[in-house]
Structure 1
């Protein structure tokens, strides 16, 4: 790939902040003006410290965080109160976001970031610790539903991976701040950059490649670079901030990924030893890079075979989701059409008879971060509904509420053509009356460019294509019935008795009859047939 063809997206990496927020954000602002713009700042280690009074001005809005900042979770019990107690809240202040205990975050530019918060403890589960179960869950989150998984761009851990300084006698680490589990994650996920904190020193290891692990491993043997960052404003002036230009893995040519570097070193980890130590796995080796997996090995052959054939644990219990198509809880009699990645269904307790839902078939919490094929099919359903509603001289309003929901639902409500007059002003005025503000998404913009992946939000798309949105802050009580209140009002549908969905539920027999009629009416517009 030539320099002209390369696509670089700029990231900043930061070590332990430990309450020195002014030092951090002043430095970030300076770098951003001089060498930016940078898309995001990723922080590892302890974000909070003993004294956190400098955070208050940022929290109340007197000072601004210059770049969207993503942080790992607490590494000690004393820091837990500084993080959200509700799993649905991730915004600590404007432009500072808590990634969570573990997971994978693919940003708007396609850079895939895996992360693991806390310090290792064997058997206990607390907000500031992780264990082998968390590591297995993170691996599952990366690989599950992704048969062509190739690796991640960045792996963030607060603890350093044990063995990373092998062969370097000039670096010494505290034994309580390293763990074998980040080493195992490195072998499994093959990050192009592995970044850690907590040690208080800067160390950048020469690049290395983690070997392919056999027939079950679809990752690429791309180069991994480890970066350990020092504490913000440390007296030794060790490097605590790192500017990184990176092309997303999915946008790179294979030849560039496999290209050798002049300073490569042997991989410092042994996968068999790590797997045996962490998971007590016995592995038989047959030939080069050919492995037979047994995640629950015992001395009894029969028991071993039974456990080997067990299906891997699914982290998300989709049986409890009302909208996962494979779930026994979904009300299948409401379904109108099913595609490859999304489906169309009657909204339960709809405002009008043709109040419909577009949902992904698999479990995604919101429209942000979904695979391109899912988004493409959702858009196909939207276009089909526009034509469907137009047959009765009606036009659709689409809205999504990613707040106190677990499965993405794009709601579609048809309104008369003449009812869209001043619809934007009605939504904006009513939002201000209810204590929050709706912003207009620029015509050339995307929702994922203004709302981070895990931040709750509400968005509505008006018939003229205008998109309004709001981030739902932790301190704001967002009215769940807000879009129904607006659309049911006199200027729009004039159906004030249809605000509460529970009051609009039909008996199952009537729902089945309505769905059957809708299936017939929608058939000329159904691209899934």
Structure 2
């Protein structure tokens, strides 16, 4: 037919037999199988089934670092998911397996034994190795932060950039205060499904994703300070065990921000002395993101750490509090929220799912509208 050529994106209406074997509702054509084998596309988009959205877990090609995703999108404006957002780097994409896929690959269906197999047929040992300590991978189609999840709560999205998006928080910690008539608790989330920012990629400090996350963070800090006279606390977890990296941003009244150190010290004491099975917290404080020791820590892809960034104003350099931990240590995932809840004297709002934090979908939609109104002059994507 034609010589082998690697493609980044392949679009066909008809499914291949190999991929159709993973879905009982469609049939395939062997010619598409041959095209896929010869082109090894990074993304294979299908639209043969206009009534449903389907995404197969990524798989690799033998003797190659290329991986393929197969996605069927539903008809435009149908009741099923008809849009798919992704980021693709066409420069040097074959140097290694993409970081978000390397731990969640399934056997290549084009090289697999004939016969249909369901997703559940791939055991945890087959996918992830036999280590009982290793966390089972969550695929983008099941991740509540990923666009590819048909159940993603996109009604909470405030702004969408090229590499990340801004969304209001589920069960917000903060409460409306002063001129801010909305909660203001928000998240910045990479579009790409990664556990932490530094996955060993080249030129980490200059990466487009890192720059956009920083731009989103500073834009919210500016809104909080300039429009509502509020300070800001940002916390984030960088860990190989995290499902999908994100930053949580919370507006804090300026009269409380000076007590952040006290609130942090209290929670560190409780974490280290009372809950002895937790990873021990020992925070270093940096007065600049350009501090050489700080850059060496975050520039090491093997490091795992918890970080707070505390902005008193939008003009002054923030204070950065960073505590390293071992990847297999038990980490209190609510630690950041506990610190800020104590700081803001809101102990009943530590748990996002508590009755005082829960919002109806209508309330969440109203929250987004009010957030967007306050944020419109600062939105980096507008």
TM-score range, shorter chain: 0.5 to 0.7
SS at match of 1:337: strand
Q: Following the alignment from structure 2 to structure 1, what is the Cα–Cα distance between the partners of residues 167 and 347?
A: 24
Contact 1:428/1:437, CA 8 A, preserved across alignment = no
Q: 2:306 aligns with which of 458, 470, 483?
A: 458
Displacement after TM superposition at 1:507 (Å): 1.2
Q: Following the alignment from structure 2 to structure 1, what is the Cα–Cα distance between the partners of residues 261 and 243?
A: 28
Displacement after TM superposition at 1:422 (Å): 3.6
Q: 1:323 aligns with which of 145, 149, 153?
A: 145
Q: Following the alignment from structure 1 to structure 2, what is the Cα–Cα distance between the partners of residues 362 and 448?
A: 23
1:407 aligns with 2:244: yes
Unaligned runs of 5+ in 1: 1-131, 156-184, 186-278, 280-294, 298-314
1:346 aligns with 2:168: yes
5 Å-filtered alignment, 1:60-99, equals none
Q: Following the alignment from structure 2 to structure 1, what is the Cα–Cα distance between the partners of residues 352 and 254?
A: 24
Contact 1:430/1:486, CA 8 A, preserved across alignment = yes
Distance 1:368 1:448, change over 3 A: farther
2:222 corresponds in structure 1 to 387
TM-score (norm 1): 0.41
Displacement after TM superposition at 1:473 (Å): 2.4
Q: 1:366 aligns with which of 191, 196, 201?
A: 196
Distance 1:505 1:447, change over 3 A: farther
Q: Following the alignment from structure 2 to structure 1, what is the Cα–Cα distance between the partners of residues 381 and 365?
A: 21
1:191 corresponds in structure 2 to none
Contact 2:156/2:167, CA 8 A, preserved across alignment = yes
Q: Deviations over 1:450-497 (max 9, x none)?
A: 1542543211111151111122225643222211111111xx211111
Q: 2:366 aligns with which of 513, 516, 523?
A: 513
Q: Following the alignment from structure 2 to structure 1, what is the Cα–Cα distance between the partners of residues 259 and 293?
A: 23
1:528 corresponds in structure 2 to 381
Q: Following the alignment from structure 1 to structure 2, what is the Cα–Cα distance between the partners of residues 150 and 407?
A: 21
2:179 corresponds in structure 1 to none
1:449 aligns with 2:284: no
Q: 1:375 aligns with which of 196, 210, 213?
A: 210
SS at match of 2:192: coil
Distance 1:474 1:357, change over 3 A: closer
Q: Following the alignment from structure 1 to structure 2, what is the Cα–Cα distance between the partners of residues 460 and 486?
A: 10
SS at match of 1:405: coil
Contact 2:283/2:322, CA 8 A, preserved across alignment = yes
Contact 2:61/2:67, CA 8 A, preserved across alignment = no
Displacement after TM superposition at 1:426 (Å): 3.0
Contact 2:138/2:243, CA 8 A, preserved across alignment = no
Greater gyration radius: 1
SS at match of 2:234: strand
Q: Deviations over 1:229-266 (max 9, x none)?
A: xxxxxxxxxxxxxxxxxxxxxxxxxxxxxxxxxxxxxx
Displacement after TM superposition at 1:408 (Å): 1.0
2:92 corresponds in structure 1 to 149
Q: Following the alignment from structure 1 to structure 2, what is the Cα–Cα distance between the partners of residues 475 and 523?
A: 41
Contact 1:356/1:411, CA 8 A, preserved across alignment = yes
1:396 corresponds in structure 2 to 232
SS at match of 1:345: strand
Q: Following the alignment from structure 1 to structure 2, what is the Cα–Cα distance between the partners of residues 475 and 431?
A: 19
1:107 corresponds in structure 2 to none
1:140 aligns with 2:67: yes
2:15 corresponds in structure 1 to none
SS at match of 1:401: strand
Q: Deviations over 1:302-361 (max 9, x none)?
A: xxxxxxxxxxxxx98311111122332321011001111111000101102110000111
Larger RCO (CA within 8 A; separation ≥ 6)? 2
Q: Following the alignment from structure 2 to structure 1, what is the Cα–Cα distance between the partners of residues 194 and 353?
A: 24
Q: Deviations over 1:130-154 (max 9, x none)?
A: xx9685684439xx933111775xx
TM-score (norm 2): 0.56
Distance 1:499 1:316, change over 3 A: closer
1:42 corresponds in structure 2 to none
Q: 2:334 aligns with which of 463, 468, 481?
A: 481
Q: Deviations over 1:182-233 (max 9, x none)?
A: xxx9xxxxxxxxxxxxxxxxxxxxxxxxxxxxxxxxxxxxxxxxxxxxxxxx
